[in-house]
């Protein structure tokens, strides 16, 4: 069996926009439901949801089945700050919060097997298709997509150095945490911060890496796509469900 091709990674490298959805409902059934909606990628959030390794594995299996069978979305995983890569190395395609090039190098290292990195070597895992993928340990890095997250001033100051790290495929700007760290907690499109995000996206693209971001506001999503964003999440499953059910209830109760 050949190493599966990561279509998401190759699309980013080719400069093709990838539209995604944030997933926090923490159940494989919900993930499979949204996986058939037409997005290029879906992100399984383990920072702000009760997702754990087992639920993520089940959700990835469901999403991957759609991806393999019907060209569905590529499932990614986001790590929380309390799930640093050294202690959470059983996942791949990590999205980690970094502030400088050294932290970005560390993130990459936990996706590479020795001697190039620190990823633990195991033979019969699902990643290897249960030892069926030929030369997996030697070639796995070719199809792994490493996305690191920047969400404070230090990260912005080091943006080009972070993007220059070999093995980093893209840099995600965390809008909520960035607003909070710059003095505007609870906001995601403050007029003082939005231009900073615009500039960050352009800088990442100029550095030759893929910029990404999340927003539930259509105008902001289109703005950041125009700035050069390549992997943009245009909503979240919990937000879509909450707002649409509120609208439905209001139609009959107003």
How far is the CA of 54 from the CAs of 58, 91, 109, 225, in angstroms?
Answer: 6, 11, 23, 33
Say which residues have a Cβ less than 8 Å from residue 54's Cβ, sequence separation at least 6: none
Closest CA to 189 of 168, 215, 169: 215
Catalytic residue among 48, 79, 88, 141: 48
| 79 is a catalytic site residue | no
DSSP annotation of 127 reads G
Q: 219 by DSSP, 3-state: which?
A: helix
Distances (CA, A) of 177 to 9, 34, 35, 172: 25, 26, 27, 12
A 10 A CB-CB count for 47 gives 17
Chain centroid to Cα 223, Å, comes to: 19
Tokens of 83: 């799930």
HSE on the CB side for 42, CA within 13 Å?
30
Catalytic residue numbers read 48
């Amino acid at each position: 069996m050949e190493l599966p091709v990561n279509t998401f990674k190759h699309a980013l490298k080719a400069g093709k926009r990838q539209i995604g959805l944030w997933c926090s409902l923490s159940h494989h059934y919900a993930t499979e439901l949204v996986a058939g909606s037409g997005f290029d990628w879906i992100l399984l959030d383990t920072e702000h949801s009760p997702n754990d390794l087992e639920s993520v594995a089940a959700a990835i299996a469901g999403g991957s089945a759609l991806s393999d069978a019907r060209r569905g979305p590529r499932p990614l995983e986001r790590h929380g700050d309390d799930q640093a890569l050294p202690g959470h190395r059983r996942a791949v395609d990590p999205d980690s919060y970094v502030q400088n090039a050294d932290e970005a190098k560390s993130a990459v290292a936990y996706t590479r097997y020795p001697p190039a990195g620190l990823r633990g070597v195991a033979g019969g895992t699902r990643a290897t298709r249960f030892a069926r993928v030929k030369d997996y340990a030697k070639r796995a890095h070719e199809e792994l997509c490493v996305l690191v997250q920047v969400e404070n001033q230090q990260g912005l100051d080091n943006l080009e150095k972070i993007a220059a790290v070999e093995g980093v495929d893209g840099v995600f700007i965390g809008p909520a945490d960035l607003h909070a760290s710059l003095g505007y907690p609870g906001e995601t499109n403050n007029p003082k911060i939005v231009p900073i995000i615009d500039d960050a996206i352009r800088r990442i693209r100029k550095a030759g890496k893929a910029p990404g971001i999340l927003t539930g506001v259509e105008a902001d999503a289109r703005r950041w796509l125009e700035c050069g964003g390549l992997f943009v999440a245009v909503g979240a499953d919990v937000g879509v469900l909450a707002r649409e059910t509120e609208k439905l209830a209001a139609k009959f109760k107003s």
